[in-house]
Amino acid sequence: MEIQLLQQPDSAIAKVILEANEEIVAEAGAMIAMSPHINANTTLRQGKGGGLLGGLKRLLGGESLFLSVFRSLGRSGEIYLAPDFMGDLLVYEMQGEELIAQSTAYVASASTVDVDLGFPGFKRAILSGESLFWLTISGHGPVLLSSFGAIYSVPVNGEYIVDTGHIVAFERSLNFDIGKPPGSTWLSTFLGGEGFVCRFKGRGTVYCQTHNPGAFGRLVGSQLPPR
């Protein structure tokens, strides 16, 4: 599998070249165009919180319910994949360690990569109203992630704080804790409009996005006619 990223950074699109009978798993709706002999199947990924209930949880989390599996039958083929938002793409190579990603950032992964729904350590982030949902990614092979705006990586060695809405993904080698920004009280956090923050400890990389989809959605959505 070869992944080429085109039109970076703000209209990024991935051209994936599959070998004969190779598979790629993608978020339903991510396929833009493909070779005619690529076979598509939509599946419900059974993760830790899988099954119907897991599907419902994902729906509430703002993630589409289904994943599509694309398989290049008999010979090599190509497929174009793109995320929903204007922004960049990142290829992360899994090497047996775990990666935690925001559900909206997930675009696609090799079939040798496991994508589990949810991450128990993040229950409080869901309560915070950010409507975030998290994926635990493991295994070997490439993962394609997207961002709203540009992506930047922060190599953490020690301690670092990132607003939960700006996290794309982070390596599981990091310890983390969700809470309010340091020095603030819960009341000032609420009034100040700053969301929950994630405090990372240890060594590892955090991938961040320059813009917060939730903040954008609240700003524009509040100006639209009521539902």
Partner 1 sequence: MNEIAFDLEHQPSYASLILNLQANQTVLVEAGAMAAMDSHIQMKSKMRGGLMKSLGRMLGGESLFLSEFTAVGKPGQLYLSPGVPGDVQHYYLKGDGRCLIVQSGGFVACSPTVEIDTQFQGLRGFFSGESLFMVRASGKGDIWFSSYGAILEIPIEQEYVVDTGYIVAFEDTLDYSVEMIAGLSFRGLMTGIFGGEGLVCRFRGQGKLWIQSREIFSLINFLNPFRPTRSSD
Residues of this chain that interact with partner 1 (CB under 8 A) are: 6-7, 10-13, 28-29, 31-36, 38-42, 59, 62, 64-66, 68, 80, 82, 84-86, 213, 217-218, 220-222, 224-227
- For the CB of residue 170, give the shortest distance to partner 1 in the complex, in Å: 23
- For the CB of residue 146, give the shortest distance to partner 1 in the complex, in Å: 11
Helix or strand run (H / E) with residue 217: helix 213-221
- For the CB of residue 125, give the shortest distance to partner 1 in the complex, in Å: 18
Report the residue number, 187 or 220, with the smaller CB distance to partner 1.
Answer: 220
- Please tell me whether the peptide bond between 36 and the residue prior to it is cis, using omega within 30 degrees of 0: no
- For the CB of residue 19, give the shortest distance to partner 1 in the complex, in Å: 19
Q: Is 161 helix (H, G, I), strand (E, B) or coil?
A: strand
Report the residue number, 125 or 174, with the smaller CB distance to partner 1.
Answer: 125
| Whether the Cβ atoms of residue 74 and residue 21 lie closer than 8 Å to each other | yes
Tokens for 198, please give them.
Answer: 């994630």
92: which strand partners? 143
Report the residue number, 26 or 162, with the smaller CB distance to partner 1.
Answer: 26
- For the CB of residue 62, give the shortest distance to partner 1 in the complex, in Å: 7
Tokens for 97, please give them.
Answer: 């360690």
Q: Is 122 helix (H, G, I), strand (E, B) or coil?
A: helix
| Residue 186, φ and ψ in degrees, nearest 5 | -60, -35
Name every residue whose Cβ is closer than 8 Å to that of residue 26 and which is 6 or more positions away in sequence: 67, 68, 69, 70, 81, 107, 108, 109, 144
Report the residue number, 118 or 213, with the smaller CB distance to partner 1.
Answer: 213
Report the residue number, 12 or 167, with the smaller CB distance to partner 1.
Answer: 12
